[in-house]
Chain A
Amino acid sequence: MKIRIRYFASIREITGLNEEILTVHEGATVADVRTLLMKRFPGIKPAMERSVCAVNRGYVATEMTLHEDDELVFIPPMGGGCIQES
């Protein structure tokens, strides 16, 4: 099945991609895709390990099973997260 992946921030810069369509096996989980992407782009590993995941614009756990046409995004920590800042 096909899923859409979009890349942001440091992950976008390292992969050099804004988005892509990826073919994955039926029943693939978010964690499966994460492993696959870290093999393809070793440079994103540190950011990926600190990322949370979103499917179809909502936060999900990595055990989540993906479906055809899902939009998957790995979300590195948001910088402004430091409340004392700005």
Chain B
Amino acid sequence: MESIIQLTRETLDRNALVEAVTHASAGGIVIFEGVVRDNARGKQVRYLEYDAYIEMAEEQIRVILAEAKQRWDIERVAVAHRFGRLEIGEASVIIVVATPHRAEAFEACRYIIDTLKTTVPIWKKEVATNGEEWVEG
């Protein structure tokens, strides 16, 4: 089955993503959810603004998933990333990986989120009580 890749301004729907990757032959499902925190490096964060180079982000996520499928026995996988303005507590990214056994689901999910953060062109701006800045690594 085709991997699910979503880049959207809308609220991410965790349950729909889990349902989409659920499969009779997959005994392990791992979910990673990245959520907007109310603080960063000592600052009080009001909200985050994500900017995305959508066409390239999709392609880069495809590259990551192709590599992950080479390394692990992935039955199904979904990656969803939000952009635009996100409030505290809202999910910015959700990754769901379904594999036959649990170990590879954990490993693959970790690989996907760590690689996504370094190669997928999506940026975040922290708008804090004392100013705003694009977070550049």
Contacts from A to B (Cβ < 8 Å): 6, 8-10, 12-13, 47, 50, 54, 57-59, 73, 75-83, 85-86
Contact = CB atoms under 8 A, between A and B. Distances in A.
B136 A75 contact: no
Interface string B50-77: 0111011001000000000000000000
**Closest 9 pairs (CB-CB, A-B):** A79-B135, A77-B137, A9-B123, A86-B34, A57-B56, A10-B134, A77-B136, A81-B137, A80-B117
A6 to B, nearest CB: 7
Nearest to B134: A10
Contacts of B85: none
B137 A8 contact: no
Contact of B136 (A6, A47, A85, A86): A47
A81 B53 contact: no
A86 B35 contact: yes
Contact of A79 (B35, B53, B114, B123): B123
A79 B126 CA distance: 10
Contacts of A13: 134
Contacts, number: 72
Interface magnitude class on chain B? 20 to 34
A86 B93 contact: yes
B5 to A, nearest CB: 14
Contact of A78 (B34, B35, B37, B118): B118
A83 B121 contact: no
Interface string B100-123: 000000000000001001111111
Contacts of B134: 9-10, 13, 47, 76, 79
